Amino acid sequence: MRSHFRVSCAPFHHSHLPFSREPRLTSSGDDDYFSSDLPTTPDGIARHPLTESFGKLSAPALALFSEKDEFAHIANPQELLDKWTSVANGKLTTTIIKGANHAVEDPAHHPALTGEVVAWLQKTFGA
Protein backbone atom coordinates (compact mmCIF):
# COMPACT_ATOMS: atom_id res chain seq x y z
CA MET A 1 0.00 0.00 0.00
CA ARG A 2 1.33 3.42 -0.93
CA SER A 3 1.58 6.07 1.76
CA HIS A 4 1.38 9.81 1.49
CA PHE A 5 3.47 11.47 4.15
CA ARG A 6 2.73 15.02 5.12
CA VAL A 7 5.16 17.26 6.89
CA SER A 8 3.69 19.56 9.47
CA CYS A 9 4.91 23.14 9.21
CA ALA A 10 4.27 24.81 12.58
CA PRO A 11 4.89 28.37 11.34
CA PHE A 12 2.10 27.85 8.82
CA HIS A 13 -0.45 26.72 11.40
CA HIS A 14 -0.15 23.01 10.65
CA SER A 15 -0.25 23.36 6.88
CA HIS A 16 0.75 20.14 5.19
CA LEU A 17 2.94 19.43 2.22
CA PRO A 18 2.14 16.15 0.44
CA PHE A 19 4.89 13.65 -0.30
CA SER A 20 4.13 10.77 -2.63
CA ARG A 21 5.54 8.82 -5.53
CA GLU A 22 3.39 10.78 -7.97
CA PRO A 23 4.88 14.25 -8.48
CA ARG A 24 2.96 16.82 -6.46
CA LEU A 25 5.12 19.94 -6.58
CA THR A 26 7.10 19.45 -9.79
CA SER A 27 6.82 17.22 -12.80
CA SER A 28 10.21 15.68 -11.90
CA GLY A 29 8.97 14.39 -8.54
CA ASP A 30 11.46 16.46 -6.52
CA ASP A 31 9.10 16.39 -3.55
CA ASP A 32 9.23 12.65 -3.01
CA TYR A 33 11.61 11.41 -0.33
CA PHE A 34 9.28 9.65 2.10
CA SER A 35 6.83 7.39 0.27
CA SER A 36 6.67 3.84 1.54
CA ASP A 37 7.15 2.39 -1.94
CA LEU A 38 10.50 4.04 -2.70
CA PRO A 39 13.22 1.51 -3.49
CA THR A 40 16.34 1.25 -1.36
CA THR A 41 18.64 1.50 -4.38
CA PRO A 42 18.16 2.99 -7.86
CA ASP A 43 15.61 1.06 -9.91
CA GLY A 44 15.39 3.30 -12.96
CA ILE A 45 11.89 4.42 -12.02
CA ALA A 46 11.97 6.31 -8.72
CA ARG A 47 13.79 9.62 -8.88
CA HIS A 48 14.92 9.45 -5.25
CA PRO A 49 15.80 5.96 -4.00
CA LEU A 50 16.52 5.86 -0.28
CA THR A 51 20.29 5.61 -0.84
CA GLU A 52 20.06 9.04 -2.51
CA SER A 53 18.10 10.64 0.33
CA PHE A 54 18.62 9.05 3.74
CA GLY A 55 21.85 7.51 2.47
CA LYS A 56 23.24 11.01 1.87
CA LEU A 57 22.64 12.39 5.38
CA SER A 58 25.75 14.30 6.44
CA ALA A 59 24.65 15.03 10.00
CA PRO A 60 22.65 13.18 12.65
CA ALA A 61 18.89 13.28 12.09
CA LEU A 62 15.84 12.26 14.08
CA ALA A 63 12.64 11.02 12.41
CA LEU A 64 9.55 10.80 14.59
CA PHE A 65 6.51 8.88 13.38
CA SER A 66 3.10 9.28 15.00
CA GLU A 67 1.51 5.87 15.56
CA LYS A 68 -1.96 7.10 14.62
CA ASP A 69 -0.89 9.50 11.87
CA GLU A 70 -4.03 10.20 9.87
CA PHE A 71 -2.03 11.09 6.75
CA ALA A 72 0.36 8.13 6.59
CA HIS A 73 -1.42 4.88 5.91
CA ILE A 74 1.37 2.45 6.70
CA ALA A 75 0.67 -1.17 7.61
CA ASN A 76 3.98 -1.52 9.47
CA PRO A 77 5.58 1.85 10.34
CA GLN A 78 8.53 0.23 12.13
CA GLU A 79 9.40 -1.69 8.97
CA LEU A 80 9.47 1.56 6.99
CA LEU A 81 11.58 3.35 9.62
CA ASP A 82 13.97 0.39 9.70
CA LYS A 83 14.27 0.63 5.91
CA TRP A 84 15.20 4.33 6.18
CA THR A 85 17.67 3.61 8.98
CA SER A 86 19.32 0.77 7.07
CA VAL A 87 20.59 3.13 4.37
CA ALA A 88 21.42 6.12 6.60
CA ASN A 89 24.96 5.05 7.55
CA GLY A 90 24.30 5.50 11.26
CA LYS A 91 23.05 9.08 10.83
CA LEU A 92 19.32 8.46 11.39
CA THR A 93 17.50 7.67 14.61
CA THR A 94 13.79 6.88 14.42
CA THR A 95 11.02 6.35 16.91
CA ILE A 96 7.26 5.99 16.97
CA ILE A 97 5.21 8.20 19.27
CA LYS A 98 2.63 5.70 20.56
CA GLY A 99 -1.00 6.80 20.29
CA ALA A 100 -0.21 10.20 18.77
CA ASN A 101 -1.81 11.66 15.67
CA HIS A 102 0.16 13.50 12.97
CA ALA A 103 0.37 16.84 14.77
CA VAL A 104 0.65 15.25 18.25
CA GLU A 105 -2.30 17.39 19.31
CA ASP A 106 -3.25 15.47 22.44
CA PRO A 107 -1.32 16.93 25.39
CA ALA A 108 -1.10 13.42 26.84
CA HIS A 109 1.45 12.61 24.09
CA HIS A 110 3.56 15.76 24.52
CA PRO A 111 5.82 14.24 27.23
CA ALA A 112 6.66 11.30 24.96
CA LEU A 113 7.42 13.62 22.05
CA THR A 114 9.58 16.03 24.02
CA GLY A 115 11.20 13.17 25.92
CA GLU A 116 12.28 11.51 22.67
CA VAL A 117 13.69 14.77 21.28
CA VAL A 118 15.55 15.68 24.48
CA ALA A 119 16.95 12.15 24.84
CA TRP A 120 18.15 12.20 21.22
CA LEU A 121 19.77 15.62 21.66
CA GLN A 122 21.55 14.49 24.81
CA LYS A 123 22.74 11.23 23.24
CA THR A 124 23.75 12.83 19.95
CA PHE A 125 25.26 16.11 21.12
CA GLY A 126 26.04 15.37 24.76
CA ALA A 127 23.82 18.18 25.97
Residue 90 and residue 108: Cα distance in Å, rounded? 31
Domain boundaries, the chain: 5-125
> Rounded to two decimals, what is the model's pTM?
0.72
Relative to beta strand 15-19, strand 61-66 is unpaired
Confidence of residue 31 (pLDDT cuts 50, 70, 90): low
DSSP track, the chain: ----EEEEEGGGTSEEEEE-SS-SSSTT-TT-S--TT--SS--SS-SS-GGGTGGG--S-EEEEEETT-SS---S-HHHHHHHHHHTTTT-EEEEEETT--TT--SGGGHHHHHHHHHHHHHHHH--
Confidence of residue 102 (pLDDT cuts 50, 70, 90): very high
Residue 52 has pLDDT above 50, yes or no: yes
